[in-house]
Chains A and B, each alone.
Chain A
Amino acid sequence: MRPGYSPFPLLLPPSTSFSPLRTPRIARPQQLLFSYPKKRHRAPPGDSPTRRRRRRRRLAKMAEQLYTVASDSETTGEDKSQPSFPDVAIGIDIGTSKCSVAVWNGHQVELLKNTRNQKGMRSYVMFKDDTLSAGVTGGAAKENAHEERDILSGSAIFNMKRLIGRMDTDEVVQASKTLPFLVQTLGIGVRPFIAALVNNMWRSTTPEEVLAIFLLELKALVEMHLKHPVRNAVLTIPVAFSRFQQTRIERACAMAGLHVLRLMPEPTAVALLYAQQQQQLVNDNMGSGIEKIALIFNMGAGYCDAAVAATAGGVSQIRALSGCTAGGEDILQNIMRHVVPNFDNLYAGQTMDRIQSMSLLRMATQDAIHKLVNQETVEINIDLGNGHKVSKVLDHSEFEQVNRAIFDKCEKIINQCLVDAKLVPEDINDVILVGGCSKIPRIRSLVLGLCKKEISYKNIDALEAAVSGAALEGAIASGVNDPSGSLDLLTIQATPMNLGIRANGDSFAAIIPRNTTVPARRDMLFTTTHDNQTEALIAVYEGEGERAEDNHLLGYFKITGIPAAPKGTVEISVCMDIDATNVLRVFAGVVKPQGPATPPFIEVRMPTLDDGHGWCGQALAKMYGKTLDLAVLPKKLQP
């Protein structure tokens, strides 16, 4: 997304004084620097290194000057009195349940509070008549106690992070049908129909729109606090987010007038905070300075992630990432179904009394789960209306039995992380537990047990770590230098999933395997599967499945004009490139035979798909699977 570009400018209420269309012209030195050296590529062939260096210095100077001029003309008295950095990206953690925002204030990371003094603000948007209000300011509720009831009234949309960028065939969407607002599915690979109850009528919306409204309120809160416009943001996302879902987050941000500087997997943001703390220990002569390995486990309401990070000298290198969609929401649903066995019959279809009854059940169950963290047993007593009463005592063993499948998923991703990082539990120095669900005793014992540790790392706040890390990354990626050295940090990201194309019929050829260091560039050779095949389909997928269909389709394009030749003789190179901002580009073209008849390479930025990708892959395979197929050719084996 181009900075400052908003596809929905009308969505912004007139109260926002900083229109995203009016790009602040101040200071984007990095971008200026970036745009220059391109010319250097076309340097004359006889160019000497010294001359090149000199030119580089000149260009840097030019960029510097331009930057100074631009900022001078723009900087008014207000900015001068404010020594903070107008273009420093803010950090946002959009949680399934709660959201928080943090900024680098010039010395350290500061979490912002809303007017109700909350750092963690409930993630929802309330639809009432013609007004929309998000959880940042507390929506329509005047008191905290009423907020939860209002959220569950059917008029509020929440769990956006679970629903965003998912098609109606997705099991997460299917499981969302028991929420108090309307989630309708047709099971054909299109967007689900989502609507909020307004004046006894369902009004449709989309997860992106809801998130945008929320972010708009959040942005206003930050601007009120900082007293200057905010443009750039670093957001944390679950490891399990597909690239398609990432584009939805970017779109929601653009709608809210925010430019996404980075999307950071949540545990990697925590890893950055850990790297900073370790670096400070070294500076205080309390640390050893040798490489330390941390396993970070993060479980919130919607997702669960694990990461292994190696840290030394302020650099945090992500060695392995793994995640899944399992979280507090699933635990809640399991317990609700356990407490009310005929749950699905009882709550099929959303009538007013059913919504009310379900919200009572939800609140009581949630409360019970929270209490069970510190208690041996908990009693659930609710009158669900229509003569239906629930009375149940729940203990830990029952709780663990009901949620066994979820704990198994957690175990799986941790083990996978260790295997991928080629480590054994003994190699791990610290286990960091974050996220709301990390308070659950079974989760703690499970993670610590797998890592063979007695205790978890103490210096990190389970609910504030991700957003703090995001704000740190925001400052670093905005080019802020701190004289005290507390920003001499770096996160080296890794790809959470395999990236590749469909080849050899139905299989998936991974070109960039998961956990490859980012930025990355890898290529692979392919060949034709038919004599005189002149066209080939490049269908790009992301995921862990062996078969192409088991993965997310990101996009597709055709290579045309392949020179006629017997099958298996043509060489087609497919190169994948991920830059530091995580943009994926695919380059493809014929490398052998070369000649004037060879068509030029194609560069495609992924994902290209916008909607309905659930069925697109199947349609592609059916129509072109056989005729436009490619086969994998081993790299550089034949001359």
Chain B
Amino acid sequence: MAAASHLLSFFLLLLLPASNAIYCDEDDCYDLLGLKQDANASDIKKAYYKLSLKYHPDKNPDPESRKLFVKIANAYEILKDESTREQYDYAIEHPEEVFYNTAQYYRAYYGHKTDPRAVLIG
């Protein structure tokens, strides 16, 4: 019985997603823009404008590129803003603080409209 519950919690741990994954799903936001983590704000902008000319559906009819553009736009959204970029960098450095990182993400993503705690309880 005890073994079963141990096993269960082990599986639960396995299922627990890395908290930085909420930002760019399974991808790394920097990778999507073809950047290193130390890129400066101007590099980020340049990379985004260049990639959008390549992958935006108006410029590229391939449906795969559309999916990629959505990811690139999302990554840019996170990295262009200094505060969300800091939070993302923190999430990369501290993957164990899942709940803190998730709360930070929600604060940035949905603004003041959704309080993550209220959502948790409600």
Contacts and interface: CB of A to CB of B under 8 A. Distances in A.
Interface residues of A, number: 41
A12 to B, nearest CB: 31
B30 to A, nearest CB: 18
A558 to B, nearest CB: 23
A290 B61 CA distance: 28
Contacts of B114: 509, 632
A360 interface: no
Query: Interface centre among B22, B50, B58, B64, by most A CB within 10 Å?
Result: B58
B63 to A, nearest CB: 5
B119 interface: yes
A636 B110 contact: no
A315 B52 contact: yes
A38 B63 contact: yes
A639 B16 contact: yes
Contact of B56 (A37, A521, A580, A632): A580
A520 B45 contact: no
Contacts of A312: 45-46, 49
A580 B66 contact: yes
B45 A291 contact: yes
B66 A579 contact: yes
Given A492-B73, A520-B73, A579-B66, A637 B102 contact: yes
Interface string B52-95: 11001111011110110110011011000100000000000000
A381 interface: no
Interface in A460-488: 476-477, 488
Given A313-B49, A521-B70, A631 B122 contact: yes
Contacts of B3: none
A291 to B, nearest CB: 6
Contacts of A520: 70, 73
Contacts of A40: 64
Nearest to A546: B113
Contacts, number: 91
A379 to B, nearest CB: 51
A30 B57 CA distance: 11
Contacts of A504: 122
A80 interface: no
A340 interface: no
B2 interface: no
A639 B15 contact: yes
A415 interface: no
Contact of B69 (A476, A477, A519): A519
B interface: dominant SS: helix
B70 A510 contact: no
A46 interface: no
B120 A639 contact: no
A38 B61 CA distance: 12
Contacts of A389: none
A476 B60 CA distance: 12
A596 interface: no
Query: Interface centre among A313, A546, A631, by most B CB within 10 Å?
Result: A313
Nearest to B17: A636
Query: Interface centre among A34, A315, A491, A509, by most B CB within 10 Å?
Result: A315
Interface in A612-639: 631-637, 639
B57 A580 contact: yes
Nearest to B77: A517
A33 interface: yes
B64 A490 contact: no
B50 A639 contact: no
A314 interface: yes
B1 interface: no
Contacts of B42: 290
Given A476-B58, A517-B77, A315 B119 contact: no
Given A312-B49, A519-B73, A521-B67, 14 more contacts: A30-B61, A37-B64, A312-B46, A317-B52, A490-B58, A492-B56, A492-B73, A513-B109, A513-B110, A517-B73, A520-B73, A579-B57, A580-B57, A632-B119
13 contacts: A37-B62, A291-B45, A477-B58, A492-B56, A492-B73, A504-B122, A519-B69, A519-B73, A580-B57, A580-B58, A631-B122, A636-B102, A639-B16
Interface of B: 12, 15-17, 21-22, 42, 45-46, 49-50, 52-53, 56-59, 61-64, 66-67, 69-70, 73-74, 76-77, 81, 99, 102, 106, 109-111, 113-114, 116, 119-120, 122
- The 7 closest A-B CB pairs, nearest first, are A580-B57, A639-B15, A517-B73, A33-B61, A315-B49, A639-B16, A634-B119
